[in-house]
Amino acid sequence: MKPLILVTGGTGYIGSHTAVELIQDGFEVVIIDNLSNSRIEVLDGIEAITGVRPYYENFNLCDFKRLRQFCEKYHRLEAIIHFAALKAVGESVEKPLDYYHNNFESLINLLQIMGEYSLPNLVFSSSCTVYGQPDNLPVTEDSPIKKASSPYGNTKQVSEEIIQDAIVANNTIKAISLRYFNPIGAHPSAHIGELPLGIPLNLVPYLTQTVIGKRPELRVFGNDYETPDGTGIRDYIYVVDLARAHVIAIKRLLEGKNLKSYEVFNLGTGKGCSVLEIINAFEKATGEKVNYKFYPRRPGDIAAVYADTTLANRELGWKADTSLEQTLFTAWNWEKAIRHK
């Protein structure tokens, strides 16, 4: 029988790509998602790619009673990947209590249920936002965790602490936190991708929407940073490479290869890339022209962050190896595929 993995937030952007990679690697997947920031049609996309429709349950993880019923039904669960969370930095400043309530309560419920049903394995979706603006680049897993710049960032920092405390109290639990840098792109089939509801906040969906004509121009926030071309630098990682890392993390836990009961890995490419470099790579990959204009810096943005990926490369035997141009090409194909949605 195939191992059954729970993917919370599995109809979301990274969750759906991870569900695909898990299924293609021989796992069975059950998704819990309340569709607060995703669409049910994503299940069709996963099925179109893999030929398998994952099990699906629609409820909020803050509902502990419902979660317990879920565990009774799916009693052969072997591991959990926890993506489900509110994730918009700006919104978290306006609605901090929603963020603390939702992101903490869902995680606490999961950890409680893991103890109750002897479910030992957790992969947690964390973020490079926990580092703030690091003093040294590239940023390693040992870099200091600075005060978070938003309630969203704070939920990621504290969630990692909650998991570690839960492990101290219950030594059957093992967890891996994966700190993502900037995931971009879509599945090469263009059956799934990022579906921003409303106006996109992130660079690449805004860029592709501009090129397809949904937005008049791409606003480049800041050209006076202390970077070679003055624009902000990030570590853009292909979402399918990122999804593959989750499969490896799950296998590491199931096979007992983890060195400690709690581990943390940076998931990025190891290469910083500026906004102008993204624009140039997109134009080269697609032959399309990007209409952009410089605007003032966006409040809260940092100048530069990119990952030291040595630990993930060595311990997970994983590397993000899809080129930036290939990645941006998938983002463009996806934008064209959803043109009429």
Position among 219, 251, 271, 319 found at the interface with ligand UFG (CB under 6 A): 219
Nearer to ligand UFG, 300 or 317 (CB): 300
Nearer to ligand UFG, 121 or 126 (CB): 126
Residues 158, 161: Cα–Cα separation, whole Å: 5
Nearer to ligand UFG, 231 or 322 (CB): 231
Binding to ligand UFG (CB under 6 A) within 134-173 occurs at none
Residues 82, 233: Cα–Cα separation, whole Å: 28
131 in catalytic set: no
Closest approach, Cβ 8 to ligand UFG, in A, equals 17
- Work out the angle between the directed axes of helices 13-24 and 42-50 (0-180°, nearest 10): 20
C-beta of residue 127 within 8 angstroms of C-beta of residue 72: no
Q: Residue 267 in 3-state DSSP?
A: strand
Nearest to 82 by CA among 141, 20, 156, 139: 156
242 belongs to the binding site for ligand UFG (CB under 6 A) = no
For ligand UFG, which residue has the nearest CB?
Answer: 232
Binding to ligand UFG (CB under 6 A) within 180-209 occurs at 182, 201-203, 206
- Identify the active-site residue in 13, 99, 131, 152: 152
Residue 225 contacts by C-beta under 8 Å, 6 or more apart in sequence?
A: 231, 232, 233, 297, 303, 304
Strands 273-274 and 233-234: antiparallel
Residue 186 contacts by C-beta under 8 Å, 6 or more apart in sequence?
A: 192, 193, 194, 239, 330, 331, 333, 334
132 belongs to the binding site for ligand UFG (CB under 6 A) = no
Position among 128, 264, 267, 324 found at the interface with ligand UFG (CB under 6 A): 128
Binding range to ligand UFG, per CB under 6 A, among 22-30, 123-131, 133-141, 264-272: 123-131
Query: What is the contact surface with ligand UFG in residues (CB under 6 A)?
Result: 87, 89, 127-129, 182, 201-203, 206, 219-221, 232, 234, 275, 298, 301, 305
Please identify every residue annotated as catalytic: 152
